[in-house]
Structure 1
Amino acid sequence: MDQTHRHSTTLGVDIRALRRARGLTLQQLADALGRSVGWLSQVERDLSEPGIDDLRALAKTLDVSISTLFSNAPSPAHEAGRIVRSEARRPIGPGDVGLREELLSPDLTDDFEMVHSTFLPGASLPETVTRPTQEVGYLIAGQLDIEIGGHLFTLQPGDSFRIKGEPFRWANPYKATALAVWVIAPPVY
């Protein structure tokens, strides 16, 4: 029998993974939310479900979009936690500046995350970003300009790159959409 159910990774597990990735204790996150440690512990253990206002506060405090906190579509039991079908990818990131990101990893509990990034024509990240991460990317389609540590590179399909805690930014000044897969450690979403 091929039963489907909600993704094996729950909201609580994702919140715990994000909290830990941010280096926050239960007490620190509870204080930032104006909630008790007991309440937060129950949420992380899926004994209590946060309301929409709590979800908004969690997303803001953990610096993720609220959509990141929602599970992807139900999966067949034998696929849950192992397979992410293209139609069931979870959107992540703010979704602005012409960038659409989807989580390719089954959940946020690994030591890394794998992301599918779509860069629309004309889109750019106007300011450099520096994250305490190691990131490796692979360009699948289109062209993408990426500045890493003050050096500008134009990527073609099949090219890959690495960012190790350096300032970076990207731009797609071209007429075609660019598609890339990024692996980020530790997870930022």
Structure 2
Amino acid sequence: MRHDTVQSNTLGADLRALRKSRGLTLSELANRLGRSVGWLSQVERDLSAPSIADLRQISTLLDVPLSLLFGTAAASPDESGHVVRRNARRRIGNRTAGLVEELLSPDLTDDFEMVHSTFEPHSEIETTNIRETQEVGYLVSGRLDLRIGDRDFTIQPGDSFRIRGEPHRWANPYDEPAVAIWVIAPPVY
């Protein structure tokens, strides 16, 4: 493998799932990338490895963090596609708002994704979030303030919540991190 390419056991399947979840055909995404349909098809079948520049462009067009497209620590053959070890989680998003997210799902090929979210102390999202998803969260530790629609909630450890395509915001004004597990359908990362 060349140094300017990235290889992942799930990259092609993940790209296909992300493309389809955005309602794009192979032809539409290939045109937006300025690449051939054949090249994109090979990438989605893991027959060709895209360059870092290609991945940057793909991440922008699919509106996902570039870090999501990088592989994880190798899983043993009997665990691949089934088990994600703690040290092999893929980081998604960025820390700018004080949120660290890791993908718990082995890949993005299911109808949902699971995410481990750590909300750092005294952090808050700057803008209201709204997406065409159904999300369920479970707070493992800490406390988290949520605004879902026009209602405010303080979530405690052991509490769960649901968001159905509604505008929402979060804040952790407290002195300890808040850790939550989210299930999101369809996958957005």
Could you tell me the TM-score, scaled by structure 1's length?
A: 0.94
2:93 aligned partner: 93
Answer yes or no: is the 8 Å Cα contact 1:105–1:115 preserved in 2.
Answer: yes
1:137 aligned partner: 137
Kindly report structure 1 stretches of 4+ aligned residues shifted beyond 4 Å: none
Structure 2 regions of 5+ residues with no counterpart?
Answer: 1-6
Give the AA of the match of 1:117. Answer: S
Aligned length: 183
1:80 aligned partner: 80
Q: How far apart are the structure 2 equivalents of 1:166 and 1:146?
A: 12
Q: How far apart are the structure 2 equivalents of 1:138 and 1:184?
A: 12
Q: How far apart are the structure 2 equivalents of 1:63 and 1:73?
A: 24
| Shift of residue 42, structure 1, vs aligned partner | 1.1
Answer yes or no: is the 8 Å Cα contact 1:64–1:94 preserved in 2.
Answer: no
1:167 aligned partner: 167
Q: What aligned pairs does 1:97-136 form with structure 2 within 5 A after superposition?
A: 97-136=97-136
2:14 aligned partner: 14
Superimposed CA distance per residue, residues 94-152 of structure 1 (whole angstroms, 9 cap, x where no aligned partner): 33210000000111100000000000011111211110000000000000001001111
Answer yes or no: is the 8 Å Cα contact 1:139–1:155 preserved in 2.
Answer: yes
Structure 1 regions of 5+ residues with no counterpart?
Answer: 1-5
Give the AA of the match of 1:185. Answer: A
RMSD: 1.2
2:182 aligned partner: 182
Identity of aligned residues (%): 64
Q: How far apart are the structure 1 equivalents of 2:58 and 2:124?
A: 27
1:28 aligned partner: 28
